[in-house]
Amino acid sequence: MYHKRIALNNMKNSAKCRFKYSLELSFKIEKIKKLKKATSLGGVIFNSPLILAPMSQITSAPFRLLMEDLGSGGSISELTSSNGIFYNSARTKDMLNVDPREECVGIQLFGEKSHNLMTAALLAQEKGAKFIDINMGCPVKKVVSKGSGSALIRKPLELYDFLSPIKKALIIPLSIKIRLGHSEKEITASEVVKVANDIGIEFVTIHGRTTVQLYQGKANWELIENIAKNSFIPIIGNGDLNTKESIADRMKITNCKALMIGRGACKNPFIFLEGLAEINNMTDKFTFSGSDMLEVIDAFSYYSDELVSEEKIKIIQLKKFIVGYTSSFPYASELRNKIFALKKIDEIKSIAKNYFSSLPVLNTK
């Protein structure tokens, strides 16, 4: 039954194509993407060891497809409420949608009730997720106060009963994403990793901050590396890998099986390609131009048109997308104000065109 539905789903969407980039940009993309090496984390096979992080209101299917075009080895969806699924919210159910063109995507769920997580995980499995990831790192008060997100890492031993039923119910692999602990004085990540290993979870992503840190301070890579060194199951390391140099430097020395990139991908859409080129000491030094960026904006719009039904959401997402990519360039705040005042997609794209056409080269190495 499960396989039948997946096959039908794939057939329905098989006619959809990927965005067609110009010959010039395709040449650069394909040349660098040849450097990708498949990376197995338990039963999950990523196309490379550089994975797109889950980010709320960002990593929906259009952004994930775009990042896959631009070199990500796979991705995890934004966090999705298992309670919302359990109580039949249509909008929450839509968040489980996976596009059949996506090569390796996990659906991330959060919740404080194991049974609701299991119900939601089974539906995500049916909708085509390649694996399920349980969010155990969200520090937001609304989430933590109910006992979900990073509240779950405070009592590692309780995770046996919490996670085992979900693991047992699924055909596809299960992973978890955690923080180092609640606070500097309450570091629990290695105990959580041990439980995950005992239960047969496929891999653990560790964001190198504590809950109380939120997004402040620096990710503690020393701790991530120590845990990864002593862990039987694969660890994905995450935190502050915002440049090609930081990605390549980490890759050279890491005990992690893969690295996860979040905010870096919202500031630079080419970060996965640049990271791959840098890791492999690629001799051809490609640069990306303002006109490449315009193609990326068109590609994002193309995927949004196909996959997002509400015009209002499309416009909000496009604005956020463009503004993120201007933050490190001149006159970003003027552009931001202009873009946020606009109401039509064509107008937004036209302003972006004027802006990016005036930026010939986006990186310099």
Ligand X SMILES: Cc1cc2nc3c(=O)[nH]c(=O)nc-3n(C[C@H](O)[C@H](O)[C@H](O)COP(=O)(O)O)c2cc1C
Sites of contact with ligand X (CB under 6 A)? 53-56, 58, 78-79, 108, 135, 137-138, 177, 207, 238-241, 261-264
Closer by beta carbon to ligand X, 116 or else 289: 116
Eight-class DSSP state of 315: H
Kindly report each contact of residues 55-59 with a partner whose C-beta sits within 8 Å and lies 24 or more positions away, as own/partner. 55/262, 55/263, 55/266, 57/317, 57/320, 58/266, 58/320
Backbone angles phi, psi at 260, to 5 degrees: -115, 135
Q: How far apart are CA 29 and CA 32, in angstroms?
A: 5
Cα 284 from Cα 272, distance rounded (Å)? 16
Q: Looking up tokens 């990540």, which residue turns up?
A: 189
- Min dist. Cβ of residue 360 to ligand X (A): 28
Name the DSSP letter for residue 211.
Answer: T
Taking CB atoms, the residue at the shortest distance from ligand X is 262
As measured in angstroms, the least distance from the Cβ of 354 to ligand X is 27
- Residue 78 or 202: which CB sits closer to ligand X? 78
Question: By C-beta, is 156 or 264 nearer to ligand X?
Answer: 264
CA dist., res. 51 & res. 48, Å (int): 7
Q: Choose the catalytic residue: 17, 104, 138, 266.
A: 138
- Contact at 8 Å (CB) between 288 and 363? yes
Residue with smaller CB distance to ligand X, 25 or 235: 235
DSSP 8-state class, residue 256? S
* Smallest gap from residue 76 Cβ to ligand X (A): 7
Residue 138 a catalytic site member: yes
Residues 6+ apart with CB under 8 A from 247: 50, 241, 259, 261, 264, 271, 275, 278, 279
Cβ at position 80, least distance to ligand X in Å: 8
Closest C-alpha among 209, 200, 155 to residue 178: 209
Work out how close the CB of 151 gets to ligand X at its nearest, in angstroms, rounded to a whole number: 14
Q: Over 121-134, what HEC string results?
A: HHHHHHCCCCEEEE
Is the Cβ–Cβ distance between 86 and 308 less than 8 Å? no
Q: Which is nearer to ligand X, 95 or 233 (CB)?
A: 95
Rounded least distance, CB 320 to ligand X, Å: 10
Would you name the residues annotated as active-site residues? 138
